[in-house]
Amino acid sequence: MEDIKKRIRITKFLDYIFAIVGLLSTLVGLVLLFTLFIDLFIDGAPRLSYKFMASFPSRFPEEAGILSAWVGTFLVMLVTAFAAIPLGIAAGIYLEEYAKKNWLTNIIEINISNLAGVPSIVYGLLALGLFVYFFKFGESILTGGLTLALLILPMVIIATREAIRAIPNSIREASYALGATKWQTVQWHIIPYSTGGILTGIIIGLSRAIGETAPIITVGALTFIAFLPSSPITSEFPFMSFKWLSDPFTVMPIQMFNWVSRPQAGFHVNAAAAGIILLLMTLLMNGFAIYIRYKFRKRIKW
């Protein structure tokens, strides 16, 4: 009896030890991140203003702003989304619902997971060769957007496949048993029931792409741009233009990098302020992803 009591005391003590180790590990991560946020905020907050958002870069830190950077980021993301979403979803659906399971699809599967882990600078080199030199898209928004699309394509494919795999097989069988074809099943069941998971994956992919710097510099984004790309909306028929696709650009992280590497303290403040904006953009996207996941989970339960 005494033995058992002693044993229980020892194991309970171990329990206690691990609880403390776990708590400390959690805190290290959280506290560091939180400090980083606070530091960034204290540094950058004084520069945040409408003027900062609406001004072009300048030689004088007080007059410099991030207008060309956030417009560039927005347009590049637009291209990325338009390229990566349809390709990624279509590939994911094909691999899950259509492709036969054999050694070839196994190899493809392994390689897609590997592609998701390839360093982004490598994508930059690939894109430089493919989009800039081969297709001659130039150092443009189109090139930048497509480069980031390549980068997040594996993530979109993986998210799509995960979301599709969560659909129970009994639902597919129910659909096929009523005489549905593959496409009818995909169109009426697979896509609607996996939308939540797919959208979440897309947004997480995009929020990674928004902070990428290396591949964008590789394909030739500029660091100092004092003009905006041509407007996508025009006053004359057909009221839209795609000339902006071929315009040079910069994006938020590049603008930040540019400012950080200057000697004047004023520019460091600018970099911190731009960091706050970039962080807010990412948080907003992630928050939206969580909201979508919550909303779709509520509607569908198995």
Partner 1 sequence: MSNNLKSESRKLNFFYGNVHALKNVSMPIELNKVTALIGPSGCGKTTYLRCFNRMHDLYPHNRYEGEIILYPDNINIISSGIDPIEVRMRISMVFQKPNPFPKSIYENVAYGLRVRGVNNRKILAEKVEKSLRGAALWDEIKDRLDKPAFDLSGGQQQRLCIARALATDPEILLFDEPTSALDPIATSKIEELIIELKKKVTILIVTHNMQQAARISDWTGFMMLGELIEFDRTDKIFTAPSEKLTEDYITGRFG
| Contact positions vs partner 1 (CB under 8 A) | 100-101, 168, 170-181, 184, 188-189, 193, 299-302
Shortest Cβ 59–partner 1 spacing (Å): 59
Shortest Cβ 199–partner 1 spacing (Å): 17
Specify the residue, 87 or 171, whose C-beta has the smaller distance to partner 1.
Answer: 171
Specify the residue, 14 or 177, whose C-beta has the smaller distance to partner 1.
Answer: 177
Shortest Cβ 189–partner 1 spacing (Å): 7
Specify the residue, 59 or 298, whose C-beta has the smaller distance to partner 1.
Answer: 298
SS (H, E, C) the chain: CHHHHHHHHHHHHHHHHHHHHHHHHHHHHHHHHHHHHHHHHHHHHHHCCHHHHHCCCCCCHHHCCCHHHHHHHHHHHHHHHHHHHHHHHHHHHHHHHHCCCCHHHHHHHHHHHHHCCCCHHHHHHHHHHHHHHHCCCCCCHHHHHHHHHHHHHHHHHHHHHHHHHCCCHHHHHHHHHCCCCHHHHHHHHHHHHHHHHHHHHHHHHHHHHCCCCHHHHHCCCCCCCCCCCCCCECCCCCCECCHHHHCCCCCHHHHHHHHHCCCCHHHHHHHHHHHHHHHHHHHHHHHHHHHHHHHHHHHCCC
Specify the residue, 189 or 268, whose C-beta has the smaller distance to partner 1.
Answer: 189
Shortest Cβ 204–partner 1 spacing (Å): 24
Specify the residue, 125 or 171, whose C-beta has the smaller distance to partner 1.
Answer: 171
Shortest Cβ 109–partner 1 spacing (Å): 16
